[in-house]
Amino acid sequence: MFLSVFDMFKVGIGPSSSHTMGPMVAAARFLDQLRAAPFSASGVKVSLHGSLAFTGVGHATDRATILGLAGFLPETYDRDAANAALDRIRDTKTVEPEGMPALRFDPQTDLTFNFGPNLPGHANGMILSATDAQGDVILQETFYSIGGGFVMTQAELDAGKDTDDGPRVPYPFKSAAEMLEMAKASGLSIAEMKRANELSRRSAADLDAGMRRLWQVMTDCIDRGLENDGILPGGLNVKRRAKGIHEKLLAERGMNLTPPHTINDWMSVYAMAVNEENAAGGQVVTAPTNGAAGVVPATLRYYLDHVPGATTTRVPDFLLTAAAIGGLVKFNASISGAEAGCQAEVGSASAMAAAGLCAVLGGSPEHIENAAEIALEHHLGMTCDPVKGLVQVPCIERNGLGAIKAVSAASLALRGDGTHFVPLDSAIETMRQTGADMHEKYKETSLGGLAVNVPNC
- The pLDDT assigned to 43 comes to 97
Each residue's pLDDT tens digit, 288-313? 999 999 999 999 999 999 999 999 99
Distance from C-alpha of 86 to C-alpha of 302, rounded to nearest angstrom: 39
Tell me the CA distances in angstroms from 296 to 90, 141, 231, 281, 337, one per residue in order: 38, 34, 25, 19, 17
- The pLDDT assigned to 380 comes to 98
Q: Which of 427, 161, 183, 423 lies closest to 320, judged by CA?
A: 183
Each residue's pLDDT tens digit, 3-27? 999 999 999 999 999 999 999 999 9
3-state helix, strand, coil in the chain (%, to 5): 55, 10, 35
Distance from C-alpha of 264 to C-alpha of 137, rounded to nearest angstrom: 55
Distance from C-alpha of 286 to C-alpha of 278, rounded to nearest angstrom: 10
Is 146 in a helix, a strand, or coil? Answer: strand
* Residue 254 burial (10 A CB sphere; 0-12, 13-18, 19+): exposed
Q: Are 43 and 110 in contact (CB under 8 A)?
A: yes
Q: What angle do CA 413, 419, 421 make, to 5 degrees?
A: 95
DSSP state of 314: G
- The pLDDT assigned to 159 comes to 87
DSSP β-bridge partners for residue 44: 130
Q: Which domains does the chain have, with CATH numbers?
A: 17-158 (3.30.1330.90), 176-453 (1.10.4100)
Burial 236-248 (b: 16+ CB within 10 A, else e): bebebbbbebbee
Q: In which residue ranges of the chain is pLDDT below 50?
A: none
Q: Which of 267, 227, 26, 3 lies closest to 125, judged by CA?
A: 26
- The pLDDT assigned to 270 comes to 98
Q: Are 117 and 51 in contact (CB under 8 A)?
A: no
Distance from C-alpha of 14 to C-alpha of 283, rounded to nearest angstrom: 6
Distance from C-alpha of 385 to C-alpha of 393, rounded to nearest angstrom: 9
Q: How far apart are the first and last CA of the chain?
A: 46
Q: Which of 321, 2, 351 lies closest to 173, judged by CA?
A: 2
pTM for this entry: 0.93
**Ramachandran region of residue 254, left (φ > 0), alpha (ψ -120 to 50) or beta?**
left
* Residue 304 burial (10 A CB sphere; 0-12, 13-18, 19+): middle
What's the alpha-carbon Rg for the chain, to the nearest Å?
Answer: 22
